[in-house]
Homo-oligomer: A and B are copies of this chain.
Amino acid sequence: MRIFIKIEYDGTNYCGWQIQPNGISVQQKIENAVLLLTGENVSVVGSGRTDSGVHALGQVAHFDTESNIPPSRFSSALNQFLPDDIKVMESYQVDSDMHARFSAKHKTYQYRIYISKHPRPLMDRYSARVEFPLDISAMQKASQKFVGKHDFACFLASGSEVKDTVREIYFSKVEKIGEEILFTVCGNGFLYNMVRIMAGTLVKVGAGKLSPDDIDQILISGDRKKAGITMQAQGLTLVSVDYE
């Protein structure tokens, strides 16, 4: 049977989701937990990669098993073999044609920013620091420019060899919650580093170095150099992956 699992992880100590020759990945830790639990050497297929240091509230992955553990029990059972910074929140059986990556309809990411002269130990793990004030209202206007179907070539990490850079953004917002500025974005897919470059571009708008209307031109230009910097990994969290 095919099992879907929803995983929360603190990415600080991992080289990212995907198994790498050097470094410990979240995927490897989960495949190892399945092996210890069921004795099966399975591939755990994620909805997509997350980079080194990126967190997840709701990464989704699947694997096939011949074990007779009830599907809903996999979460607690796997958690016994997982480290404190990776835990399965939910597990359930799906049809064998469901695929964590190819059946995903949309994904939601959140990027967290805080403003401080000094690095803040209680914020730094999950939020990126900016040292200067930000105009949140301008960032909110700019965030709306991402909504819709666009060629996001300008928000793609340079060096990437992806051909099709058109993606559709369903939802994009900036809000101030407590001491943090949260950028939340939902789309049918994201290019490599896309959310972190979007966040860097919003910071550039917030700092007054771009106007919200400049985003239209940046999108049309397809020029990576016109967008903002790639913000640090630790501010990014994969919030959820949605299926039909």
Taking beta carbons and an 8 Å cutoff, which residues of A are in contact with B? 8-10, 55, 57, 75-76, 79, 84-89, 117-122, 124-126, 237
Per the bound structure, the CA–CA distance linking A87 and B79 in Å amounts to 34
| A10–B118 touching, CB < 8 Å | no
| Chain B residues with CB below 8 A from A84, complex form | 119, 121, 124
Per the bound structure, the CA–CA distance linking A9 and B122 in Å amounts to 7
| A8–B79 touching, CB < 8 Å | no
What residue of chain B has the Cβ atom nearest to residue A8's Cβ?
B121
| A125–B10 touching, CB < 8 Å | yes
Per the bound structure, the CA–CA distance linking A57 and B126 in Å amounts to 16
| A118–B9 touching, CB < 8 Å | no
| Chain B residues with CB below 8 A from A125, complex form | 10, 125
The smallest beta-carbon distance between A234 and chain B, in angstroms, is: 11
Per the bound structure, the CA–CA distance linking A122 and B76 in Å amounts to 17
| Chain B residues with CB below 8 A from A119, complex form | 79, 84, 87
Per the bound structure, the CA–CA distance linking A9 and B237 in Å amounts to 23
| A87–B118 touching, CB < 8 Å | yes
- What 3 pairs between A and B have smallest CB-CB spacing? A10-B121, A85-B121, A8-B121
| Chain B residues with CB below 8 A from A79, complex form | 118-119
Per the bound structure, the CA–CA distance linking A76 and B117 in Å amounts to 9
Per the bound structure, the CA–CA distance linking A237 and B121 in Å amounts to 12
What residue of chain B has the Cβ atom nearest to residue A7's Cβ?
B121
Per the bound structure, the CA–CA distance linking A122 and B56 in Å amounts to 8
- State which of B55, B121, B126 has its C-beta within 8 Å of the C-beta of A9: B121
- State which of B57, B89, B121 has its C-beta within 8 Å of the C-beta of A118: B89
Per the bound structure, the CA–CA distance linking A119 and B121 in Å amounts to 22
Per the bound structure, the CA–CA distance linking A228 and B57 in Å amounts to 31
| A121–B75 touching, CB < 8 Å | no
| Chain B residues with CB below 8 A from A88, complex form | 118
